Chain A
């Protein structure tokens, strides 16, 4: 099935550093979403983006919906140990099975105190 290209696959950073990850697609989406999965739990929605070019923040997290509608990025500023987990991007269109999400393979973030 279709998947998004998410990079990097993993990151090992020092506490306090900024983090950047991105997602690209060969097709356009109407909505981009970013999820975080804590170890042993289900993913939780962090940010949803609805409009091309949109820049949205949620605390230390900032995400952008690419102007071409084929990409998105997520930045985390001043990382802390609880940022550890897997971050997934997802693209979504509207209506019927098009409402199904297409996921990236995830970026695994490790933070060294």
Chain B
């Protein structure tokens, strides 16, 4: 079955360390997105990519980095520059123009210890 997979589900990081969250989709979708979710804050866009080897900053890109070397994969790195990284991170994808809505992964909960 086609879908979008995020791993790991839970991640613990020591302060000052970089960590990479994985997002893989086999839906043949062009566009991929990373969101951060904090209680009561809704979904805040970190980065998005409309096509391989291209990506754009979202509303809260500081302290994060991404790459899009393959259509199927859009990993997110949370760097040590991100001052408050503990959050729930969601990856999503969207098909071609004219397709509606996003398909979301099941999320990664990152905790800084």
Interface mask (B21-54 → A, CB under 8 Å = 1, otherwise 0): 0000000000101000000111101001010000
Q: Number of contact residues on B: which range applies?
A: 20 to 34
B12-20, B71-79, B92-100 - the one binding chain A: B92-100
Total A-B residue contacts, Cβ distance less than 8 Å: 65
Q: CA–CA, A98 to B84, complex, Å?
A: 30
Mostly, the B contact residues are strand
Q: Which of A63-71, A77-85, A100-108 contacts B (4 or more CB under 8 A)?
A: A100-108
Kindly list chain B residues whose C-beta atoms are within 8 Å of the C-beta of A106: 42-43
Instruction: Give the shortest distance, in Å, between B4 (CB) and chain A (any CB).
Output: 8
Residues A42 and B104 in contact, CB atoms below 8 Å apart: yes
Residues of A within 8 A of B40 (CB): 9, 105
Residues on A lying within 8 angstroms of B by beta carbon are: 1, 3, 9, 31, 33, 35, 40-45, 48, 50, 88, 90, 92, 94-97, 99-101, 103-106
**26 sampled A-B residue pairs with Cβ under 8 A:** A1-B45, A3-B42, A31-B100, A40-B107, A42-B90, A42-B104, A42-B107, A43-B43, A43-B90, A45-B101, A45-B103, A90-B101, A92-B101, A97-B50, A97-B56, A99-B31, A99-B99, A100-B45, A100-B48, A101-B94, A101-B101, A103-B42, A103-B43, A105-B40, A105-B41, A106-B42
